[in-house]
Chains A and B, each alone.
Chain A
Amino acid sequence: MARIRKRSIQLSKLCSFACCRSSSQDEHAQIGQKGYSRVVYCNEPDSQEQIRLRYRGNYVSTTKYTAVNFLPKSLFEQFRRVANIYFLVVACVSFSPLAPYSAPSIILPLVVVIGATMAKEGVEDWRRNLQDIEANNRKVEVYDKSSCSFRQTKWKDLRVGDLVKVCKDEYFPADLLLLSSSYEDVVCYVETMNLDGETNLKLKHALNVTSFYSSAESLKEFRAVIKCEDPNEHLYSFIGTLYFDCQQYSLSPQQILLRDSKLKNTECIFGVVIFTGHDTKVMQNATDPPSKRTKIERRMDRIIYVLFSTLILVSFIGSLFFGIETNNDLSGGNYTRWYLRPDKTTVFFDPRRPAVAAFLHCLTGLMLYGYLIPISLYVSIEICKVLQSIFINQDQAMYDEVMDRPAHARTSNLNEELGQVHTILSDKTGTLTCNSMEFVKCSIAGTLYGRGMTEVEIALARKRGEQLTEQAPIDASESKKSFKGFNFRDEHIMDGKWVSEPQSDVIQKFFRVLATCHTAVPEVMGPDEIMYEVESPDEAAFVIAAREVGFEFFARNQTSIKLRELDPTSGIRVDRVYELLHVLEFSSARKRMSVIVKNPENQLLLLAKGADSVIFERLSKEGRAYEERTKEHIEKYSEAGLRTMAVAYRELDNDEYKTWEQEFLKAKTSVSADRDVLMDELACQIERDLILLGATAVEDKLQKGVPGCIDKLARAGIGIWVLTGDKRGTAINIGYACSLLRHGMKQIVITLELPEILAQEKEGDKEAIAEASLNSIKLQILKAKSQVTEESSTEFGLIIDGKSLTYAMDKNLVNSFMDLAMRCATVICCRSSPKQKAVITRLVKSVTGRTTLAIGDGANDVGMLQEADIGVGISGVEGMQAVMASDFAIAQFRFLERLLLVHGHWCYRRISMMICYFFYKNITFGFTLFWFEAYTSFSGQPAYNDWYMSCYNVFFTSLPVIALGVFDQDVSARLCLKHPLLYQEGVRNILFNWPRILGWMFNGLLSSIIIYFLTTNSITGPAFRKDGQVADYSVLGVTMYTCVVWTVNCQMALSINYFTWIQHLFIWGSIAFWYIFLVVYGSIPPTLSTTAYKVLVEACAPSILYWLTTLLVVIAALLPLLSYRAFQIRFQPMEHDRIQIQRRRPESTEYDATQRRLSESSEARTSSELPSEVRIRIDNLKASSKRKN
């Protein structure tokens, strides 16, 4: 096998800090002890020792069930619901004589309902199973010792100790120890997107001792033993020892290749399987996301309990009367109702023991009135939610064409919660902004370059009320080619014009620093086309900017960086090679990065870039020529919402460098614990006496449509909190740019950057500082609160920084802080850490008790997403980690508007209506049974044939309610967006509050009374047909049932205002199906159909009275709801009623004009009037609700 040697970069040198960090000795000492007991015999998976250890195979199963346990396990899952247990008990008892109806008619609906849920589970699991099969049957090349070659093997057949070869762009089949790679210095690149969502490549490095084994022949001799930690879920740690050639070598995560990550940029690698299957780190990490339940569901449970109590009460009343009646059967030694044979009776009807009979009858009653509990409620809701999520996923208006990403509802059980969001907590970078950095401006030698305005500047200008004469900043025609990450326009510098600038040498140095001081790896995609693999988007912006100006970085190897640059004297482009000596990496602690290079002129240079504060304090005296002006410019840039960085350099003295290098190399190779500190110190030593060149400004562009979206959400009355790590100034400016802070809004700033605190900090007494800070925050909060109370008509924006926040979270202060925050339209928390984000989310959730939604895109938002009631992940640039932790994933922030205002509102309305209706229809049905009972001396005889009853929930009423839950729209999507105030219906939970739920229940009770009494009085007694026949038990049952089916379906038709052919089909189809059912059921032999035999064809259909009664009862039962709705819509309309009527009346021009004005102003992002109006309205409501309390 030929060894392919590609460009071999000694990247180990490039990443001098991050790599080769050996774990400390004491950890390795634990090997062989508890928790560190794994032993791998490399290349000997068949050896006795390895087999004896019985490590698991590489077969992976992520399914919840297996073929064997599916039935018991899924059944168990089903019966964890109280309602289902009830029905199961009922089904079991139905075999006893207690049952008021036959056992199969109870069991069938239960089987249908449970079966449907189980089928759903089964299908979901089957999909997972297919994915597993695909993964398990992927092929990998495994070393076969007998033939000294690699052969294709399925992943699932891989064993611990196998030697495998993985080629470029393949996934690692298990956790491997890297032995060697196609690179000479045994490195390889790995993409860990599936593990942690990071898209940048990671460098892995094999031990030098194993680097020799890089061909099939040489591997034959390879023998080694690995002793390491037991399987665990820590992705970034690994402790192990390699015993090879009678020597011990420590292993670190640097040598470990994790399953599900991908080999990149490397031809192939060889590795030993250490962890297989479920022992791998990625599988150990796979935990179920926390399951969240919606508020509606929680309330629904309470309603179920209410119904259960009703059920028990009704049964109790029934059995009480039954006991009395039974007792009366024996009066003074005589049997009164002799036709019941009380002399020869069972315990159930024994007049001698009426108490026992009554008790047993109570059980019968519990079964009979079980129709009060909607058996199919849970499964119907689940079906609806799954279909709703399909609609969310399919929505073209939330589909990002550029990224080819549709919206994705990762869980379907939070849909209706989307319609009730009270507070949104948002990340900034990557969420409100694109996280694609654009180089827009720079300041070189105290001169500003780069024109054009950033979005923030435009917003600020608008705020000041200036008229903008200039065109939009991005003008595609202006530039020949436009690059992602580059939006710099300045004719003084572009196209080689910089040569004629007065400070051209400084400009040259400036861009050289940008072109060399980085860790990017160029990838030549074609002629004149270079892509850069970078660690952060900022870095890409710098390299691209340097290239566009004329300093093209095109190649890098282990020791050099090649630039193609313009020679200012000759005007030709020449290749220059910089010898790369050292890279002092960027870290968040150092806040800077520098490289030491030797230029073609043999000059030693230290090139540095970093945060302004860090660079400025390292300037030499003569290097401060532009300091003042640069500082000014940086200030200006950060006001414009730009991210700034200072650029500096230093010429190194040869001797100085030599001595420094010696010490540095010594420190680098040392293994002591303080190695990092030592290296930091040494880096500091060389990074001094810098000469300032200038500063860069990079814009993190706002995502498309963010201001409009935020404005809409604010108008919908949703409070928005932004949690960002930015500086206060930047955060405030971004706030203006995306209309979080608006004209006319008052800012409340809570900060610790006050003179007295700063003074104390200089003294350094930590306790005193803490106390002073706490007091100061307390004062500020109280002051702000009084201000907010005084000026209740103005909107407020609260800005607080992370440090102040820690004090504000103090348990004595937190309530008043949250109180203040809740009264502000916008809250911006700047300088906050990921942990703080999660804590704030939890606080907002617990203090307000309302629904919170967190939105974010990065790994740092995961805590926040999981903590919130709803987590929305932006599937943006920062990888998939946030998405994996989220409940909904959208491609862009602006889709949130549609997700909440349209889908959220619809789903909320649908689910709440559906549940209310469900209770209505079951109460209607259940109580007709009860009224009938009263006329059978509570004997437990149901009014209907057994099979009518069991089909009630499953066939005659199920589809319309599902259509309601899936398709209903009160107003169209367009109007939902046009009238954001409609969203308040969900926030205030107007459609699912107790009055409404009880109203529906009362309506059900009313319907049942109307149905029962009108039917019995109309149809029984005298002849019901011309031929003199009278209506018997079966005719009354059919008539009542017909009325029930008609009534509940017509009530449905009356309470929705959206009919597509689906609704028509389901509603009218259900009614038609009842008649069809009756004909079919009535035509089977009478021993099976019993009372239903030919009941429609022979008895009811020829009777005009039957049809007239149906009409009367249905209209009479609809009349209460119809009149209520008519009066309510006319005199107390809700928002959706108003919009529906508005839609009908185009002539009401005045209203339209208002709307148009408002929407125009909102488009101009300066709409200040309406949000405040909305605010005020909401505040008034809050006040009024408080008054009520």
Chain B
Amino acid sequence: MTDTDRGTQRDRHSAFSLFTQQSLPACKPVLTPEWVIMTFLFIGFIFIPVGLVTLRASHSVVEIVERYDIGCVPEPFRIDKVSYIQDDSIPKNCSLSFKVPKYMKAPIYIYYQLDNYYQNHRRYVKSRSDKQLLHGQNEHGISSCQPVEVNNDRPIIPCGLIAWSLFNDTFTFIRNRAELKVNRKNIAWKSDRGHKFGKNVYPFNFQNGTLIGGGKLNPTIPLSDQEDLIVWMRTSALPSFRKLYGRIEKDLDVDDVVVVHLMNNYNTYSFGGKKKLVLSTTSWLGGKNDFLGLAYVFIGSSSVTIAVVFTLLHLLSPRHYEDTSYLPWN
């Protein structure tokens, strides 16, 4: 300690001087070999079990995925699927059937899955008016809805590309010749129903244009109760996405045959998108997704590997820190 240090000792105790002299009490962790090994092993021992538990949860989920976009186009039309789907005169009825591979406990969630559908395209995401959805008739707030904001000089409610392209395939489920009841309530977010879509806002002038996009809406039901629309308007994150269609609140047994009657209205053919119907139970973690569990196991085991490699190298090449020959200037 130099003599000037001594001079400051009289006010060493004050916190302010500790601060100005840059000598605040500090924790100075150092990555010593022991710490390195401990840390990596610790990560490994936490991550591998967590990964296994998540994998287990994922495996407990029963999921049925049925692609129907090609199967639902009658053979003669398969050459030109686009004109088939655009031709209103042809009935779009179609049915699927599948066997339940495992016992599925209620509630069973029904999703429709679209692929290669850019709901996150900037033009698409922007084309909506939150103000109009909540407050209704408002001629001013709809400029953001371009290019689907007015029709015949009257504003469209709900305006915008998202609403306009509403998904309109419908599904009915039959098991053992009896219709399975599908609960289509409460499939949207609570906050959306309560605060984003107005209770007094009714569809108006919707899908009245020359070019009709997706589904139509019942103009007597307020937007806050149009749950299909609300679900659709929560735009997806990635071009491949699932959206909730409803819930089957009855258990399905193994080898139950479920027949789905569907209306194949929605055009995904012009951009080559797939359509799938998904039935899935959930675990405490959500749907069937092995990725998270595998990633956990992978990270955990790499940690352990690093720890082992490090330990071996550490033991094999004993180096004293007094040795300075490795310094960059040597």
Q: Interface of A with B (CB < 8 Å)?
A: 100, 334-341, 343-346, 348-349, 390-391, 394-399, 401, 935-937, 939-941, 967, 969, 972-974, 981, 984, 988, 990, 1014, 1016-1018, 1020-1037, 1057-1062, 1085-1087, 1090, 1093-1094, 1098-1099, 1103-1105, 1108-1109, 1112, 1115-1116, 1119, 1122-1123, 1125-1127, 1129-1135, 1138, 1140-1145, 1148, 1150-1151, 1154, 1177-1178, 1180-1181
Pairwise interchain contact B287-A1022, C-beta atoms closer than 8 A: yes
Beta-carbon contacts under 8 Å, B284-309 to A = 284-289, 291-292, 295-296, 299, 302-303, 306
Pairwise interchain contact B270-A396, C-beta atoms closer than 8 A: no
CB distance from B126 to the nearest CB of A (A): 8
Pairwise interchain contact A936-B122, C-beta atoms closer than 8 A: yes
**Centre residue among A391, A397, A1135 by max chain B CB count within 10 A:** A397
A1027 to B187, CA, bound (A): 9
Pairwise interchain contact B161-A1130, C-beta atoms closer than 8 A: no
The reply on B178 being an interface residue by CB < 8 A is no
Pairwise interchain contact A1132-B326, C-beta atoms closer than 8 A: yes
Pairwise interchain contact B25-A1060, C-beta atoms closer than 8 A: yes
Pairwise interchain contact A988-B124, C-beta atoms closer than 8 A: no
Chain A hits for B292, CB < 8 A? 1017-1018, 1105, 1108-1109, 1112
**Centre residue among A349, A936, A1035 by max chain B CB count within 10 A:** A936
Nearest A residue to B22 via CB reads A391
**Centre residue among B17, B214, B271 by max chain A CB count within 10 A:** B271
Nearest A residue to B33 via CB reads A1130
Given the known A-B contacts A343-B211, A1022-B280, are A394 and B107 also in contact in the complex, defined by CB atoms under 8 Å? no
Nearest B residue to A1017 via CB reads B291
CB distance from B240 to the nearest CB of A (A): 8
Query: Which one of B92-100, B190-198, B216-224 is at the A interface?
Result: B190-198
**Chain B 110-143 near chain A by CB (<8 Å), digits 1 or 0:** 0100000111111111000011001000000000
A75 to B191, CA, bound (A): 44
Pairwise interchain contact B321-A334, C-beta atoms closer than 8 A: no
Closest 7 A/B residue pairs (Cβ): A1022-B287, A1023-B287, A1181-B329, A1036-B237, A396-B8, A1028-B109, A339-B165
A100 to B324, CA, bound (A): 54
Nearest A residue to B313 via CB reads A1131
Chain A hits for B26, CB < 8 A? 969, 1058-1060
Beta-carbon contacts under 8 Å, B26-68 to A = 26-33, 36, 39-40, 43, 47, 50, 54, 61, 63
**Centre residue among B118, B164, B165 by max chain A CB count within 10 A:** B118
Pairwise interchain contact A1028-B237, C-beta atoms closer than 8 A: no
**Chain B 1-40 near chain A by CB (<8 Å), digits 1 or 0:** 1101101100000000100111111111111110010011
**Centre residue among A346, A1022, A1059 by max chain B CB count within 10 A:** A1022
The reply on B155 being an interface residue by CB < 8 A is no
| CB contacts between A and B, total, < 8 Å | 296
Pairwise interchain contact A1030-B32, C-beta atoms closer than 8 A: no
A395 to B326, CA, bound (A): 34
B191 in complex: contacting residue of A336, A1093, A1141, A1145, CB < 8 Å = A1093
A349 to B161, CA, bound (A): 14
Chain B hits for A399, CB < 8 A? 4, 7
A1131 in complex: contacting residue of B47, B161, B317, CB < 8 Å = B317
A839 to B288, CA, bound (A): 76
Pairwise interchain contact A1180-B125, C-beta atoms closer than 8 A: no
Nearest A residue to B50 via CB reads A1108
Query: Which one of B69-77, B168-176, B241-249, B257-265 is at the A interface?
Result: B241-249
Nearest A residue to B291 via CB reads A1017
Chain A hits for B211, CB < 8 A? 343
Given the known A-B contacts A1115-B299, A1131-B313, A1141-B32, are A396 and B122 also in contact in the complex, defined by CB atoms under 8 Å? no
Chain A hits for B242, CB < 8 A? 1021-1023, 1030
| Given A935-B238, A1028-B109, A1129-B36: 8 more A-B contacts, CB < 8 Å | A338-B165, A990-B328, A1026-B283, A1112-B295, A1119-B299, A1119-B306, A1125-B31, A1133-B326
Chain A hits for B5, CB < 8 A? 396-397
Chain B hits for A338, CB < 8 A? 165, 213, 267, 270-271
CB distance from A859 to the nearest CB of B (A): 29
Pairwise interchain contact A1151-B287, C-beta atoms closer than 8 A: no
B286 in complex: contacting residue of A939, A1024, A1087, CB < 8 Å = A1024
Pairwise interchain contact B289-A1033, C-beta atoms closer than 8 A: no
A329 to B244, CA, bound (A): 28
Pairwise interchain contact B235-A1033, C-beta atoms closer than 8 A: yes
Pairwise interchain contact B22-A1033, C-beta atoms closer than 8 A: no
The reply on B320 being an interface residue by CB < 8 A is yes
Q: Interface of B with A (CB < 8 Å)?
A: 1-2, 4-5, 7-8, 17, 20-33, 36, 39-40, 43, 47, 50, 54, 61, 63, 82, 107, 109, 111, 117-125, 130-131, 134, 146-148, 161, 164-165, 189-191, 195-196, 211, 213-214, 234-244, 247, 267, 270-272, 280, 282-289, 291-292, 295-296, 299, 302-303, 306, 310, 313-314, 317, 319-322, 324, 326-330
Pairwise interchain contact B28-A941, C-beta atoms closer than 8 A: no
Pairwise interchain contact A984-B329, C-beta atoms closer than 8 A: yes
Nearest A residue to B11 via CB reads A396
Chain A hits for B239, CB < 8 A? 935-937
B120 in complex: contacting residue of A334, A936, A1112, A1119, CB < 8 Å = A936
Chain B hits for A1115, CB < 8 A? 43, 47, 299
A to B CB contacts below 8 Å, 25 in the list: A337-B118, A396-B4, A397-B2, A397-B4, A969-B22, A1022-B61, A1023-B242, A1024-B286, A1032-B234, A1032-B237, A1058-B27, A1059-B26, A1060-B25, A1060-B26, A1086-B134, A1093-B191, A1099-B189, A1109-B292, A1126-B306, A1130-B310, A1130-B313, A1135-B327, A1144-B30, A1151-B322, A1178-B329
Pairwise interchain contact A396-B21, C-beta atoms closer than 8 A: yes
Chain B hits for A1144, CB < 8 A? 30, 32
Nearest B residue to A1093 via CB reads B191
Pairwise interchain contact A344-B147, C-beta atoms closer than 8 A: yes
A969 to B123, CA, bound (A): 49
Pairwise interchain contact A340-B118, C-beta atoms closer than 8 A: yes
Nearest A residue to B30 via CB reads A1140
Chain B hits for A1127, CB < 8 A? 310, 313
B195 in complex: contacting residue of A397, A935, A1085, CB < 8 Å = A1085
A1022 to B130, CA, bound (A): 27
Pairwise interchain contact B121-A1030, C-beta atoms closer than 8 A: no
A336 to B313, CA, bound (A): 58
Chain B hits for A984, CB < 8 A? 329
A1104 to B213, CA, bound (A): 37
Pairwise interchain contact B118-A939, C-beta atoms closer than 8 A: yes
Given the known A-B contacts A1016-B238, A1138-B321, are A1027 and B4 also in contact in the complex, defined by CB atoms under 8 Å? no
Pairwise interchain contact B310-A1126, C-beta atoms closer than 8 A: yes
CB distance from B31 to the nearest CB of A (A): 5
Chain B hits for A397, CB < 8 A? 2, 4-5, 8, 21
Chain A hits for B191, CB < 8 A? 1086, 1093-1094, 1098
Nearest A residue to B43 via CB reads A1115
B321 in complex: contacting residue of A344, A1032, A1059, A1142, CB < 8 Å = A1142
Chain B hits for A1017, CB < 8 A? 291-292, 295
A344 to B123, CA, bound (A): 12
Nearest A residue to B165 via CB reads A339
Pairwise interchain contact A1126-B36, C-beta atoms closer than 8 A: yes
A1126 to B39, CA, bound (A): 10
Pairwise interchain contact A1021-B329, C-beta atoms closer than 8 A: no
Pairwise interchain contact B322-A391, C-beta atoms closer than 8 A: no
Chain B hits for A967, CB < 8 A? 22, 24
CB distance from A812 to the nearest CB of B (A): 33
Chain A hits for B282, CB < 8 A? 1023, 1025-1028
Pairwise interchain contact B122-A941, C-beta atoms closer than 8 A: yes
Nearest B residue to A1094 via CB reads B191
A1103 to B28, CA, bound (A): 36
Nearest A residue to B167 via CB reads A339
Nearest B residue to A1030 via CB reads B242
CB distance from B7 to the nearest CB of A (A): 6
